[in-house]
Amino acid sequence: MRNSIGLGRRGLLTGLGCAALAGPAVAVVRPGAPLPVPADRRLAFRIVRNDSAIGSHVLTFSPMGNALVVRVVVDIAVKFGPITLYRYSHRAEERWDDGAVVSLDADTNDDGTVSRTAVRRVADGYSVEGRGVARYVAPPDSLPATHWNRRMLDVPMINTQTAELMRPVVTRVGASRVAFGAGATTEADHFTLRGDADLDTWYDAGPAWVALRFTAKDGSVIRYERA
């Protein structure tokens, strides 16, 4: 999301991009490692602003032999009583083959501002096009910043809303407990991203994505809680 009632963080709800490492070493997930596809092929999060639920972020996984399709659906509505003050939707589809990204297509409606990002694998990396961004070729180790794959912390990331290539500083803080489902908690590795992005994210030993948190422009705290 960007702008509008102070919730914007350069598209961080859908595509924060980052990778340059500093501080304590990040636990590296090697490119050849199996992709962390959930057993039930689904990850779902409630999006909470301060203490109020404002939407959902759902990823579904469709393995087909060596191929994998990941679909992302984000819907947000911030209301004051019956009046909707802000609305956001994001749809993305990643295609993988033999552990490597082949393409990504993403469409975003940020309270009436529509954008589209297209990523295609080419000989020397990834061709990236987006609204307001001149076409460029991202490095061959880049990944779409769709969060579910912890490998994205170790490489350049492509913001799926803005199409920007981003490289914030990533630091591994260590293990901590975070909300997980209705009233439960789980232990997960805590990482901070600073610079191009400014947020905290958590992954379990899987490594599955389990939580996200950042402070919005208006000072409100945005949290992702596994649904």
pLDDT of residue 32: 57
pLDDT of residue 25: 36
* Cα–Cα dist 17/214, whole Å: 14
pLDDT of residue 106: 98
The separation between CA 202 and the C-alpha centre of its own chain, rounded to angstroms, equals: 12
* Cα–Cα dist 66/64, whole Å: 6
**Taking the model in full, what pTM does it have?**
0.85
Radius of gyration of the chain (CA): 17
* Cα–Cα dist 51/41, whole Å: 28
Residue 37 makes CB contacts below 8 A (sequence gap 6+) with 61, 63, 68
Residues in the chain predicted with pLDDT less than 50, given as ranges, are: 1-30
pLDDT of residue 33: 66
Residue with the two structure tokens 């997980």: 180
* Cα–Cα dist 144/157, whole Å: 6
* Cα–Cα dist 59/149, whole Å: 12
